[in-house]
A and B are shown apart, each in its own frame.
Chain A
Amino acid sequence: MRLHYYPGCTLKNKTTNFDLSTREAMKRLDIELVEPDGWTCCGAEYPLTEEKIVGLAAPIRVLRQVKDEGGDILVTSCSFCYAVLKRAHKAHRDDPIKRKRVNAFLHDDIKIDRWTKEKTTGFEDYDGEVRILHILEYLRDVVGREKIRSALKRDLRGLKVAPYYGCRLLRPRDEIGLDEPDNPHIFEEFLETIGCTPVDYPFKQECCGSYLSVSLPSAATEASYRVLRSAKLEGAEAIAVSCPLCFYNMDHRQELIKEKFLDFPGLPVLFFTQLLAWGLGVERSVLGLDQHAVSPASLFRESPGPEVIL
């Protein structure tokens, strides 16, 4: 089965392990992920003021392309992309004034025919036909627990993983609607499905400091430390994320966190798709474990065979 998939900018550059593990895992579930032709960056931040309507143009252009290729579902694994696409989709579908203006912006895009190379303008209006699903949501609602369970090749039982939602997956509830903002369980259900033991801890939906890691690093260091410490105190062996920025703040900046907070011993940070891919039998070399600053290699070991006594 073919499914439209939006990787987003960071998955194509810095965290290719997230992209690759998503693809490989979905392949094992008989789903081939295809990218919409000529996709662009979604903008990373949804424009929050009423006047910045032009910020909706980029995500809507991606959605229109999906519709143009005959798709009705677009999945993404990055939380930032998910939030922007979903909120833009909702604003565009529900607000006739915004829809009219965005469609007017996009009407004169140049379309190049794939075969004849003929250039035309005058795009058809997009009226919000495409559904945007996060991979976690797609696995829960479309693929289903039973199918994932029956496709599992490796036993992850006993691995204690702390799910980290962060800011973009849950809020605002009216627009995202993936789960309850203050008591979510979609990530825990996913971890249980693949055999891990989810760790409950109070900071799972707290912000990691987000883009402040560039403009005010001290704030991001402290915010990330709180999340990591909380997970560690509850006995987690690793923390699973669904956002490349959370990954950067908690993994690549962990050296700095350790320097500043001496009580923190360190905790590997994983993408949830790496665990899924591993459980589904994907080779270890495909998981891109060398892209982590805090090595999670010890978590991805083949279960030892019978001991040979020489």
Chain B
Amino acid sequence: MRVKLKAGAEESKFIERIEELSGENVYACYQCGRCSAGCPVAFEMDLLPNQIIRLVQMGLKDEVLNSKTLSICASCFTCQSRCPKGIDMARVMEAVRHVLDPKSRDIFGPSDVSPELAIELPQQVLVAVFRKFSK
């Protein structure tokens, strides 16, 4: 994919914020791609986990925040357990979700679940999905 690189104050602030929130060093990534290779839901993603982290390294905030991938990661930590550099990709994903505009719509909120379905679902899945995807 073709992207335009910038190296302004906004970009470096974004990278710093992601590192601060996740506690991970995003520059440790050297793009081996094991996270994307092992991801059980990668087939639904528009940007693969390794692409997300590359875009974070370059400070391309809009490309990252507009990605569908944020709402697809299920935090199963397969990527974390296989990363040769010890980066917890699930934490990076969570940090990116955290910096989404607080006024924007929930990725997935209570109004997205029909009452009939809510009765059928196990409680834990509702608690987990709202914790991940709504503010």
| A, B bound | yes
Band of interface residues on B: 35 or more
* A80-B81 in contact (CB<8A): no
Interface residue count on the A side (C-beta < 8 Å): 46
Question: Closest residue to B38 on the A side, CB-wise?
Answer: A206
Is A85 an interface residue when CB atoms closer than 8 A count as contact? no
A209 at the interface (CB under 8 A from B): yes
Which of chain A's residues has its CB closest to B120's CB?
A252
- Chain B at the A interface: mostly helix, strand, loop or mixed? helix
Question: How close is A114's CB to chain B, nearest CB, in angstroms?
Answer: 27
A50-B20, A223-B41 known; A211-B125 Cβ under 8 A? yes
Given contacts A49-B91, A172-B81, contact A211 B40 (CB under 8 A): no
| B111 in the interface (beta carbon within 8 A) | no
Q: List CB contacts (< 8 Å) of A19-63 with chain B.
A: 41, 43-45, 48-51, 55
B65: chain A residues at CB < 8 Å are none
Nearest CB of B to A271, in Å: 13
Most A C-beta atoms less than 10 A away, residue of B21, B41, B72: B41
**Extra contacts besides A212-B74, A214-B129, A245-B122 (18): CB < 8 Å:** A10-B123, A13-B122, A41-B123, A49-B22, A50-B21, A80-B128, A171-B80, A205-B78, A207-B74, A210-B75, A210-B128, A211-B74, A214-B117, A216-B71, A219-B44, A223-B41, A248-B122, A252-B120
Top 9 nearest A-B pairs (CB, nearest first) are: A207-B76, A167-B76, A171-B77, A48-B94, A44-B127, A211-B129, A44-B128, A210-B74, A215-B108
